[in-house]
């Protein structure tokens, strides 16, 4: 039997070409530089005590970590800079200790919270920056006083208002899953309490203005795990109750506070789900023929014969067409598992098919496709199907979208029902960036992974430049909704990705 050289079939998916472009370069001569502040106005808003609550997008998370520069360029920090021009007060953040981004648990680096990603120009792929982090979770010295930036990476809607003890140190050892979040344990006002909620730390500050961007993780955890149910979508009823409790708590403590409610973007607009193509397997004719015949693994001619025999018996012609495997010279669709297919395992036919344009492959498959599983005849995405956690199939995409639209309806309804609140459609902005890029006057960004400038190397969170764009869009909503005149910032003065 011929042994195939699978290494020759491996595609470098989502490789990044670093030519003479300096990716983190800054543009200049922004037309809206801060000038005569006499013309600026807060309108009917009061920015004396600005508090921003949410998840990693509020915290300034980027490149798979929370690091100092990212926090300093978070969209709330950018907003606070501009609010200061119209009477805004001090803005504090629970800053980490370094620009590495990893966390220490009792002086020991935790591999689940690794250093940030940087791009290695020599191998054109991202990897963690070297170094030992210095950010301690317990004993951070930040507990006792609430911060203006109350963004907690990993937080879902119910963690803000319905999760007492989310900042309790002892909760880190509970579970799995843990009942506490290390990022919140770092700066919760009471790490010994198993009853205090994050929203209580917000309300205690008596905000005069706030932003609320929560709900992304209520669908994103499910999405990034390929819909394998290890991180389920939050039930709509739970989201509605949690979101309502957040708004009610702030209204009760600060009835005159104004704010901006932000909705949830479509996961199909971020590089984590759009970078790896469904047809990511290049083959020559000899390798394709061997796969179909079963030389060295595969045997898809036999599989196809078995599928054809089930037409009109257990499956339709449509399903048979979907399940038929075809490899040929050129670019080929990746082999995946699909739990929605009719179970034919009793007849020795696994639930596999090739991916198509209706599927979304997660970014991490870029380093998995074409590599061996158990040996040279079991190659991921070629002769061995990618796993459930690697791909979002149409039913999973629909489940995400159904939940997202329901959550967004709740968010917009809350804004519409309160004259003190305005609505920011981040979903539309992200969709626009994905479709045609974003021109900010002195430059532009796109959603292309690594080189587009809008998204960091984790493929989910914006770069500093991307966060500045979000801040400007929120400023525009504030100016319109509250009759303010607050100048935007120049996104071109903010960095994008970092080279090793």
User: Comparing C-alpha atoms, which of 354, 358, 382, 353 is closest to residue 369?
Assistant: 382
In DSSP terms, which residues pair with 281 in a beta bridge? Answer: 332
Q: What is the pLDDT of residues 389-400, one digit of tens each?
A: 999 999 999 999
Q: Rounded CA gap, 435 and 269, in Å? A: 8
Looking at residue 296, what is its pLDDT? 60
- pLDDT tens digits along 446-491: 999 999 999 999 999 999 999 999 999 999 999 999 999 999 999 9
Domain 37-274+396-493 has CATH 3.40.50.1110: yes
Spans of all domains in the chain? 6-10+280-356+359-392, 37-274+396-493
Number of CB atoms found within 10 A of residue 192's CB: 12
pLDDT at position 35: 56
CA pair distance 276, 490, nearest whole angstrom: 31
Q: Which residues pair with 421 in a beta bridge?
A: 259
Alpha-carbon separation of residue 419 from 44, 100, 250, 258, 366 (angstroms)? 11, 42, 14, 8, 47
Q: Cα–Cα distance between 269 and 273 in angstroms, integer? A: 8
Token look-up 């890029």 returns 437
135 and 96 Cβ atoms separated by less than 8 Å: yes
Q: What is the mean pLDDT of each run of 10 residues along the chain (500 residues)?
A: 37 39 40 64 99 99 99 99 98 99 97 95 85 97 96 99 96 93 97 94 98 99 97 99 99 98 98 98 96 82 97 98 98 98 97 99 97 91 97 99 99 99 99 98 97 98 99 99 99 92
What pLDDT does residue 499 have?
81
Question: What pTM value is reported for the model?
Answer: 0.93
- The answer to whether 301 and 327 are in contact (CB under 8 A) is no
> Which residue in the block uniquely carries the two structure tokens 């493929």?
459
H-assigned helices in 138-284 = 157-161, 182-185, 198-203, 216-224, 236-253, 271-274
DSSP state of 382: T
Give the contacts of 28 (CB within 8 A, at least 6 positions apart).
Answer: 442, 490, 492, 493
pLDDT at 45: 99
Q: What does the DSSP assignment read for 95-133?
A: --SSSS--EEETTEE-TTS-PPEEEETTTTEEEEPPS--
């Amino acid at each position: 039997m011929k042994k195939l050289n699978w290494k020759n079939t491996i595609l470098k998916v989502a490789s990044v070409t670093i030519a003479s472009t300096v990716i983190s370069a800054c543009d200049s001569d922004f037309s809206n530089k801060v000038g005569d502040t006499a013309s600026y106005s807060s309108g009917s808003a009061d920015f004396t005590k600005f508090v921003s609550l949410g998840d990693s997008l509020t915290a300034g998370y980027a490149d798979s970590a929370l690091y100092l520069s990212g926090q300093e360029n978070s969209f709330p920090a950018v907003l606070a800079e501009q609010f200061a021009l119209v009477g805004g007060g001090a803005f504090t953040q629970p800053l980490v200790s370094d620009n590495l981004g990893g966390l220490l648990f009792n002086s020991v680096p935790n591999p689940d919270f690794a250093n940030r990603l940087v791009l290695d120009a020599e191998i054109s792929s991202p990897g963690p920056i070297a170094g030992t982090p210095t950010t301690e979770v317990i004993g951070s010295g930040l507990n006792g006083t609430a911060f203006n930036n109350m963004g907690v990476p990993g937080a879902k809607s119910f963690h803000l208002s319905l999760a007492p003890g989310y900042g309790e140190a002892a909760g880190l050892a509970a579970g799995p899953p843990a009942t506490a979040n290390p990022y919140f344990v770092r700066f919760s006002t009471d790490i010994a309490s198993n009853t205090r909620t994050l929203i209580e730390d917000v309300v205690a500050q008596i905000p005069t203005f706030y932003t609320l961007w929560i709900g992304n993780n209520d669908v994103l955890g499910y999405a990034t795990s390929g819909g394998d149910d290890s991180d389920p979508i939050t039930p709509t009823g739970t989201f509605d109750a949690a979101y309502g409790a957040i708004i009610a708590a702030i209204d009760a403590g600060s009835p005159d506070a104004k704010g901006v409610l932000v909705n949830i973007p479509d996961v199909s607009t971020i590089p984590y789900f759009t970078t790896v193509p469904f047809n990511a397997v290049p083959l020559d004719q000899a390798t394709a023929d061997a796969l179909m015949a079963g030389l060295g693994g595969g045997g898809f001619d036999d599989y196809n014969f078995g599928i054809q025999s089930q037409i009109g018996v257990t499956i339709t012609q449509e399903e048979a067409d979907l399940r038929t495997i075809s490899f040929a010279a050129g670019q080929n669709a990746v082999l995946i598992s699909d739990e929605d297919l009719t179970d034919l395992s009793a007849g020795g036919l696994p639930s596999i098919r090739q991916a198509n344009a209706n599927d979304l492959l997660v970014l991490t498959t870029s380093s998995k496709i074409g590599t061996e599983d158990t040996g040279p005849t079991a190659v991921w995405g070629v002769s061995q199907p990618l796993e459930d956690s690697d791909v979002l199939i149409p039913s999973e995409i629909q489940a995400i979208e159904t939940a997202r639209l329901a959550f967004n309806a709740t968010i917009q309804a809350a804004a519409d029902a309160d004259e003190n609140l305005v609505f920011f459609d981040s979903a539309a902005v992200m969709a626009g960036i994905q479709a045609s890029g974003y021109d900010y006057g002195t430059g532009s960004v796109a959603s292309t992974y690594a080189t587009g400038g809008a998204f960091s190397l984790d493929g989910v969170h914006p770069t500093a430049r991307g966060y500045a764009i979000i801040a400007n869009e929120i400023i525009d909503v504030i100016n319109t909704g509250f009759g303010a005149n607050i100048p935007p910032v120049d996104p071109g003065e903010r960095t994008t990705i970092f080279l090793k």
